[in-house]
Amino acid sequence: MTASRFVGRVRAVGVVVVVMAVAGCESDRATRDRVSFGRTIYVRECARCHGPKGDGYPGVYPALAGNPIATLDSPEPMIEIVDRGRAAMPGFEGQIPPQNIAAVISYVRGAWGNGASPVKPNEVK
């Protein structure tokens, strides 16, 4: 291999590494932004029933901290409840944009010691 071809190859690898690093940072940052935006949505839309700390009101509104549905590996059941509502809970589909639904679900799944992963807007139809 000539010296110049070698340099060319090193440069190409460098570009790939930089592109991957930037993409990684972007998506981490996007996730962090979504979760912190979700906190705002929670305070605005959910806290009046589920409590500012997710501890709910026993016998009336379920706690979301440590809630089995909010901490499932699959976010589907929680997406379904937040979209369509259930019993005394209103549905939010069509009331707030899907990005806000994804944000608030991401926040709740990770808040107050809940250890579940965030969701992306395209998971919330």
3-state secondary structure the chain: CCHHHHHHHHHHHHHHHHHHHHHHHHHHHHHHHHHHHHHHHHHHHCHHHHCCCCCCECCCECCCCCCCCCCCCCCHHHHHHHHHCECCECCCECCECHHHHHHHHHHHHHCCCCCCCCCCHHHCC
The residues that touch ligand HEC, with contacts defined as CB under 6 A, are 45-46, 48-50, 61-62, 64, 67, 69-70, 78, 81-82, 86-90, 92, 104, 108
User: Which residue's CB is nearer to ligand HEC, number 32 or number 86?
Assistant: 86
Tokens of 37: 């935006």
Tokens of 31: 């996730």
Distance (Å, whole) CA 58 – CA 36: 27
Residue 113 Cβ vs ligand HEC, minimum distance, rounded to whole Å: 15
User: Which residue's CB is nearer to ligand HEC, number 19 or number 72?
Assistant: 72
User: Which residue's CB is nearer to ligand HEC, number 31 or number 93?
Assistant: 93
User: Which residue's CB is nearer to ligand HEC, number 8 or number 66?
Assistant: 66
